[in-house]
Amino acid sequence: MDRRTFLLGLGLAATRPAAVSVAEAAGGRNRIDLRALLALVGAPFGETAWTQSIAHVLELTPGRAPRVLMAELAVVQCRVRPATHAELARANLPASPAYQVETRGIAMPLEARTHRPLERFVNEETGRVAEPSARRWASSVLVTDDSWASLDEPSPAPRPRAAAQVAVGGDEWYVFFSAPRSTGVDTAVHPGTMDSTGWRLRPAELGQARVGAGYNHVSLTSVDERPWLGHAPGSPVRLLENATGYKVFEREALAPAAAALLESDR
């Protein structure tokens, strides 16, 4: 998990034009509106939610069988509240219902099998030993029904928000978002990369103060995003990252390792 995959879970695709409407799921005209989505990724206004996940990362080198590279533990804290007039003005957003979503995340490479911290890494392509490092990020965005704006990377105009695709699986629903991969709001997309973020929810919880959520994502990323791997810039090697996890509403409910990771980021 990183800033990109988490924000994508709100439909905040950096480069893709938005779909024009929220998808209607088969079997009924079910839709996930913005408030429901915010409840899914966050907590009641003023409270914090934490999403912890474990990822499995495969390295894909052209013409070769994949190899297991590492695991990655990630935790993201998320706070949501109504946006202020000053924020709306700063982001050039209309005064429709708008919300500020603040996230802070950290991800730590782990050994793929033991899940202990990855202390050293041998790049099989170059033979060089690399020292793994954690990824940290923070972001603040404003979101409306159909648009969004980054407070960290302001742009002249709001961006369209992508629609969620909702698959209705009885008493569990699945929300999908996919987009090209980029590392920032306006940064270039690496060829042959993409993100797909998913949330699972229980529809019976929609409308409640706290809505539980399962999180997962798959992404095909460039190794350029992890310079510590030691590949030459522009390498055709790609990483297939697969993550699963879930959200909690109390810090004490985090897995000990996730809590330690979060604590290290203070």
CA neighbor of 103 nearest in space, from 145, 57, 41: 41
- Of the pair 92, 165, the CB lying nearest another protein is at 165
Task: Give the residue with the Cβ less far from another protein, 68 or 89.
Answer: 68
Of residues 138 and 168, the one with the C-beta less far from another protein: 168
Encoded amino acid at 147, one letter? S
Distance separating alpha carbons of residues 81 and 97, to the nearest angstrom: 11
With beta carbons less than 8 A apart as the criterion, state whether 243 and 195 touch.
Answer: no
Cβ of residue 34: shortest distance to another protein, in angstroms?
A: 18
- Which residues, other chains included, contact 80 with Cβ-Cβ below 8 Å and sequence gap of 6+? 38, 41, 42, 43, 45, 99, 100, 101, 102
Q: How far is the CB of 156 from another protein (least distance, A)?
A: 22
Q: Tell me, what amino acid is at 196?
A: S
Are the CB atoms for 5 and 180 separated by under 8 Å?
Answer: no
Distance CA 77, CA 5 (A): 14
Minimum CB distance to another protein smaller for 233 or for 256: 256
> Which amino acid is present at 151?
L
Minimal distance, residue 213 CB to another protein, in Å = 11
CB of 111: closest distance to another protein in angstroms? 8
Least distance (Å) from another protein to the CB of residue 164?
10
If the CB atoms of residues 87 and 125 are measured against another protein, the closer one turns out to be: 125
Q: Which residue has the tokens 């499995």?
A: 56
- Judged by beta carbon, residue 66 or residue 207, the one nearer another protein is 66
Distance separating alpha carbons of residues 9 and 196, to the nearest angstrom = 8
Helices in the chain by DSSP H: which ranges?
3-8, 34-41, 85-91, 256-263
Minimum CB separation of residue 15 from another protein in Å reads 7
Cβ 209 to another protein shortest distance, Å: 21
Q: Residue 100's beta-bridge partner residues?
A: 81, 142
Q: List b or e across 198-228, with b for residues whose CB sees 16 or more CB atoms inside 10 angstroms.
A: bbbbebeebeeeebbbbbbbbbbbbbbbbee
Q: Which is nearer to another protein, 3 or 181 (CB)?
A: 181
Place of tokens 């079910």: 30
